[in-house]
Amino acid sequence: MNASRAHIFFLIALMALVPGAAVAQEAPAIDDDYPGSKRPGFYLSADIGGAVYDLDDAVSDRFTQNGIDLSDHANGFGLALGYSWRNEFALEIELYGAGVSTGTTDIDAALVQFDLIFRVPLLKRQRLAPYLEGHLGSTGLGFEGSGVENRVVYGGHTGAGAGLEVHLARRWALDFGYRFSLISFQEESIELRNGGNDEIDIDGTGRVHRWVMATTFSF
pLDDT digits (tens, 9 = 90+) for 71-111: 888 999 999 999 988 777 899 999 999 999 998 888 999 99
Q: Taking Cα atoms as reference points, which of 170, 182, 190, 184 lies closest to residue 208? A: 182
- Across the range 162-186, mean pLDDT stands at 92
Q: Taking Cα atoms as reference points, which of 158, 179, 206, 209 lies closest to residue 54? A: 206
Full 3-state SS string of 167-218: EEECCEEEEEEEEEEEEEEEEEEEEECCCCCCEEEEEEEEEEEEEEEEEEEE
Query: What are the tens digits of pLDDT across the range 29-43?
Result: 444 555 555 566 899
Exposed, middle or buried by CB within 10 Å (0-12, 13-18, 19+), for 57? exposed
- What is the architecture of the domain spanning 42-218? Beta Barrel (2.40)
pTM score, whole prediction: 0.78
Q: pLDDT band for position 22 (50/70/90)?
A: very low
Question: What are φ and ψ of residue 100, in 5° steps?
Answer: -120, 130
Residue 162 has a pLDDT of 98
Predicted confidence (pLDDT) at residue 137 exceeds the cutoff of 90: yes
- Domain range summary for the chain, segments of one domain joined by +: 42-218
Residue type, 72: D
User: Which residues, including other chains, have CB under 8 Å from residue 16's CB and lie 6 or more apart?
Assistant: none
Predicted confidence (pLDDT) at residue 3 exceeds the cutoff of 90: no
Residue 12 has a pLDDT of 58
As a whole number of Å, the end-to-end CA separation of the chain is 67
